Structure 1
Amino acid sequence: MKTTVLDTLKNRRTIYALGKNVTASQEDIANLVKSIVREAPTAFNGQTTRAIVLFGDKHDELWDIVVKRLKSEVPTEEAYAATQAKIASFKAGFGTILYFTDEAVVRNEEEQFALYADNFADWAEQAQGNVQLSVWTALAENELGASLQHYNPLVDELVQEAFAVPANWRLRAQMPFGSIEAPANEKEYMADEERFRVLK
């Protein structure tokens, strides 16, 4: 069987050592993200996923917001120093993608298709997974490193205010990306017999 997609997926790794040594233009990267969000599948074709791509000062502003907000959450100065170093590694990247779910669309689907109402929030999360993996893999295909971060809901209101995010967009994840300045750590896999069953 063909393994081109599998090979590309294997190349997608969590990269923490990010840099700004990127040859692709901001416009090309933004267009790639737009195209993937547009093409990624959603239940009932609900198209619930939204994205904001941050570059330059806006990218820096996001991570300044995060590190400032986290100061009140960590117990010691030593712990906060470690937090600052971690956030600095994200800020060192070329940009960040913010992923949102449009909850107004989810609510509308729940009303329009009452029989399946209990499922639409879950399906919106599945749509997030579809988009995030697809973007992440496409970045890797273009030799860009990335990681997936989750500082929501701690920073939701601050992000909404800073970037004029509509009130019905719920922040789901943050994906800093950039040049790969150091490779990913080794990846460990569970035993196949613990994860898979093939029945005939």
Structure 2
Amino acid sequence: MIENKLWSAIENRRSIYSIDDKIELSNKEIKDLVDFAVKYVPSAFNNQSTRTVLLLGDEHKKLWDITKGILKEIVPADAFKNTEAKIDNSFRSGYGTILFYADDAATKNLMEQFPTYAEKFPGWADQSSAMHQFAIWTMLTDKGLGVNLQHYNPLIDESVRKEWGIDENWRLIAQMPFGRPTGDAGAKEFKPVSERSIVFE
């Protein structure tokens, strides 16, 4: 049972692979949405290690052209046609991409401050990034956009770093293309919640 708008937004968040660039949101509205999540999504020890890079319009398309160029060098020629079609129709065809990074310098600083937990901080930083991804994905969906999440790192890391002058301490975690949805997500099967959620009363 859907009890409030947040529940509905979470339920509707799905991977949408058919997108185009004809969106109604302004660049400022998209940036404000991303900035809101960056500010308010939590992190362990208030580390605030998540970093984002918002690529819009031609800059977004450039990212996927770079990705295709890298993949063309390593994917067999007979398979690359399908790879290129997937990128062109599900990622590059959108309006923008959000790059999610973790600032390893911030994490290292906490590792030095709290050596007892040192080995835990990298994992906690990744968990915080995941929360940012989920929050932004859900908010974009709530605004009527189609979104999916990709992981072409580490293949594209260095090329992306050089193209946009990304800090060397930032570690690329994920890429989130988005745009106007032009197709549905399709049916999704769920394992019984009773097998995944336990309560003791």
Tell me the TM-score normalised to structure 2 length. 0.96
1:12 matched to which residue of 2?
Answer: 13
Counterparts of 1:2 and 1:189 in 2: how far apart (Å)? Answer: 20
> How much does 1:71 deviate?
1.4
Task: Kindly report which structure 2 residues correspond to 1:44-193, keeping only aligned pairs within 5 A, or say none.
Answer: 44-75=45-76, 77-89=77-89, 90-193=91-194
Counterparts of 1:26 and 1:125 in 2: how far apart (Å)? Answer: 27
Letter in 2 for 1:86: K
Counterparts of 2:144 and 2:72 in 1: how far apart (Å)? Answer: 33
> How much does 1:78 deviate?
2.5
> How much does 1:27 deviate?
1.3
Counterparts of 2:26 and 2:188 in 1: how far apart (Å)? Answer: 30
Counterparts of 2:73 and 2:190 in 1: how far apart (Å)? Answer: 36
List per-residue Cα deviations over 1:4-39 (Å, max 9, x = no partner): 322110111101001111111011101110111111
Counterparts of 1:138 and 1:7 in 2: how far apart (Å)? Answer: 11
Letter in 1 for 2:74: E
Counterparts of 2:94 and 2:108 in 1: how far apart (Å)? Answer: 35
Q: Which consecutive unaligned segments of at least 5 residues does structure 1 have?
A: none
Identity of aligned residues (%): 42
Letter in 2 for 1:18: I
Counterparts of 1:23 and 1:74 in 2: how far apart (Å)? Answer: 36
Question: Could you say what secondary structure the match of 2:52 adopts?
Answer: strand
State the number of aligned residues: 199
Question: Could you say what secondary structure the match of 1:72 adopts?
Answer: helix
> How much does 1:73 deviate?
2.6
Letter in 1 for 2:124: W
Q: Which consecutive unaligned segments of at least 5 residues does structure 2 have?
A: none
Letter in 1 for 2:181: I
Question: Could you say what secondary structure the match of 1:69 adopts?
Answer: helix
Letter in 2 for 1:99: F
Counterparts of 2:4 and 2:124 in 1: how far apart (Å)? Answer: 28
> How much does 1:177 deviate?
0.2
RMSD: 1.2
Counterparts of 2:194 and 2:41 in 1: how far apart (Å)? Answer: 30
Counterparts of 1:146 and 1:47 in 2: how far apart (Å)? Answer: 24
> How much does 1:43 deviate?
0.4
Counterparts of 1:43 and 1:6 in 2: how far apart (Å)? Answer: 25
Question: Could you say what secondary structure the match of 2:174 adopts?
Answer: strand
